[in-house]
Chains A and B, each alone.
Chain A
């Protein structure tokens, strides 16, 4: 590869300043975060009474949001680890997108769980007095671990890129240059350094897979270890993981399209990437659909009395609109869009990705709340409002604020660091050219 070509590639992939649209986007996200913060301040001062959560529906959209964040974070392990270990090279430009989605999602998963606690000042008690037998403690351990692995998996491949960015002092602001220096000034492109980095990435790729499986399996056990209609299932771990990979892959397609359009990366995130990611999403949607059929058909066939009310509520009752919306938008419509080659073009794939993400959020709501409103013992002598759950504006604001926060982290990351790995892309292009010769 000629130096000029390399130069062009580097310049294409260097982080770019926010344009007008970028600034509006950031302002929009900051506004949502601020509204969420105000709502949270109200919750802190008035307590969880500002939410619609009551004795029965004690887990509302905060926990749905938490499960959604944990789910989407799994994409880091799918794109970076699973595809890397199976020697799939086309995913290289997508690894950093996947990793930053993982890091931001897992960060906000931790934040939203503290929001749900109502008394964050008591959070430390979880560490001081936690029971090792409790899946909640396992969740805390595994989320922390996954966060650090994701950070390392983001950092190691970034080292050669930091060294590249340090060469472009004129294109960076002073504080960013300092940051690059702090993080990667010691990188000298020495073969020994590459050797250590490659080894570290391989170790991380192997480590992250069981940890990623654990993180979402444990999250599913928060439900499955509780004896309630709709949660009492041995299928939950696999059901959650397949759903998590699906929403993560959908999220990556959305991010691919946005970065491709706004950072002019058409040369690097190609039709081929959309085509392949589209196929991955179809496969994952079919897999998740399979688990859904298992999850609902088996109890519906037996129709045990306590399950009956819950299932009727989902299929034809109070939650039917959300249930069918979630099933169709997160699985069935995306499958129909992405199963054709035309559907795997960037824009239709982007739409399918959006549907997957939105549908998956509502799917988490369907998993969490309806079960709580159908306890084994009938609800008696409680106010009418206890029989239903509709989130208050504070809950919506906090959840939307947290989603905006996660997007803000991704946006700022893409502003500071190259969203497509520069060094890896150059190396792979060179190897590809070499193979051609």
Chain B
């Protein structure tokens, strides 16, 4: 009887340990962002995070399914993507979603990651109203950006939208003037003055202007770009033939050549002179 009791206790302990182990699964936190670049490229970016030691950390290798409007049917599935080292999964909107996209002015995006050994199932949604940016310039270097929102079937001007106007540079964007952000007026427009004179452009002086709506609750992330000839023409000058200490052979700095050859010629001049003196001693001995 006592033996049987021990077995029951052991089994119960095992079950409780197993259930604790199951409970040890972490919560996965998902988020989703909608991006519209230049009114041409639409894509979605999902982020996966989890709390480790009280801090949120990105989670790689999580397979995420992207749906449009709802996740009830396969027909709404846009595709799947796996998170990278930064916990990001990117999905370009497929051409097959075009019809669904055109059907309405507002959409919901749903992302789902299935339960795994480490994480429970997780889900996130984002509601997006279709909108677009338009960027124009005037001859007196003013930039006019208009934000339009699709309402039913008509594009209407959107007021009170916060956006940035900048110049695209190699390592980031440079504001066109001292104003960090602009807000569209009742006409859905902002006007920014270009105050970055003498900025190097490409060989033709081209600069790329960019208008950006970032993380907007209604529209997501929108950008529009325009190339303008407002920069200085940049002529690439090769440094390869410059006379430097790190240059190739025969291209040492003049000062080094002068110094080195002067020393060498002086010292060897003395040695040659002394060899001449040996000849002189020889002559004296004849």
Residues of chain A touching chain B, judged by Cβ–Cβ distance below 8 Å, are: 129-133, 138, 141, 145, 148-149, 152, 155-156, 159, 185-188, 190, 192-193, 196-197, 199-200, 203-204, 207, 211
Contact = CB atoms under 8 A, between A and B. Distances in A.
Contacts of B256: 132-133
A149 B271 CA distance: 7
Contacts of A130: 249
Contacts of B273: 203
Given A130-B249, A132-B260, A196-B277, A145 B285 contact: no
A244 B285 CA distance: 39
A188 B284 CA distance: 8
B247 A133 contact: yes
Contacts of B285: 185-188, 190, 193
Interface stretch (B15-23, B191-199, B215-223, B262-270): B262-270
A278 to B, nearest CB: 34
Given A190-B284, A196-B280, A129 B249 contact: yes
A131 B252 contact: yes
B253 to A, nearest CB: 8
B286 interface: yes
Contacts of A148: 271
13 contacts: A131-B248, A132-B252, A133-B246, A155-B278, A156-B274, A159-B281, A186-B282, A187-B281, A190-B284, A190-B285, A197-B281, A204-B274, A211-B267
Given A129-B249, A145-B268, A148-B271, A193 B284 contact: yes
B245 A152 contact: no
The 4 closest A-B pairs by CB, nearest first: A186-B285, A132-B252, A186-B282, A131-B249
B274 A203 contact: yes
B277 A200 contact: yes
B16 to A, nearest CB: 45
Given A152-B271, A186-B282, 20 more contacts: A130-B249, A132-B249, A132-B252, A132-B256, A141-B260, A141-B264, A155-B278, A156-B274, A185-B285, A186-B284, A188-B284, A190-B285, A192-B284, A193-B281, A196-B277, A196-B281, A196-B284, A197-B281, A199-B277, A203-B273
B173 interface: no
Q: Which of A149, A186, A188 has the most CB of B within 10 A?
A: A186
B245 A133 contact: yes
Main secondary structure of the interface of A (DSSP, over half): helix
B241 to A, nearest CB: 14
B257 interface: yes
Nearest to B257: A132
A59 B39 CA distance: 60
Contacts of B257: 132
A295 to B, nearest CB: 25
A200 B272 CA distance: 11
B268 A133 contact: no
A89 to B, nearest CB: 24
A192 B283 CA distance: 11
B239 to A, nearest CB: 15
A152 B270 CA distance: 11
A431 B268 CA distance: 35
A197 B278 CA distance: 8
Contacts of A129: 249
Contacts of A192: 284
Contacts of B252: 131-133
Nearest to B244: A133
B97 to A, nearest CB: 45
A123 to B, nearest CB: 16
Interface string B127-162: 000000000000000000000000000000000000
A310 B113 CA distance: 49
A91 to B, nearest CB: 22
A167 to B, nearest CB: 15
B266 to A, nearest CB: 9
B271 to A, nearest CB: 6
A187 B249 CA distance: 47
A296 B30 CA distance: 54
A203 B266 CA distance: 13
Contacts of B267: 145, 207, 211
A207 to B, nearest CB: 5
A194 to B, nearest CB: 9
Nearest to B243: A133
B205 to A, nearest CB: 37
Nearest to B280: A196
B264 A207 contact: no
Interface in B224-257: 245-249, 252-253, 256-257
Nearest to A145: B267
Contacts of A156: 274
B163 to A, nearest CB: 44
Contacts of A196: 277, 280-281, 284
B256 to A, nearest CB: 6
A426 to B, nearest CB: 20
A155 B264 CA distance: 22
A207 B263 CA distance: 11
A187 to B, nearest CB: 6
Contacts of A204: 274
Contacts of A207: 267, 270-271
Nearest to A207: B270
Contacts of A186: 281-282, 284-286
B56 to A, nearest CB: 30
A204 B267 CA distance: 10
A133 B260 CA distance: 10
Contacts of A200: 274, 277
Nearest to B253: A133
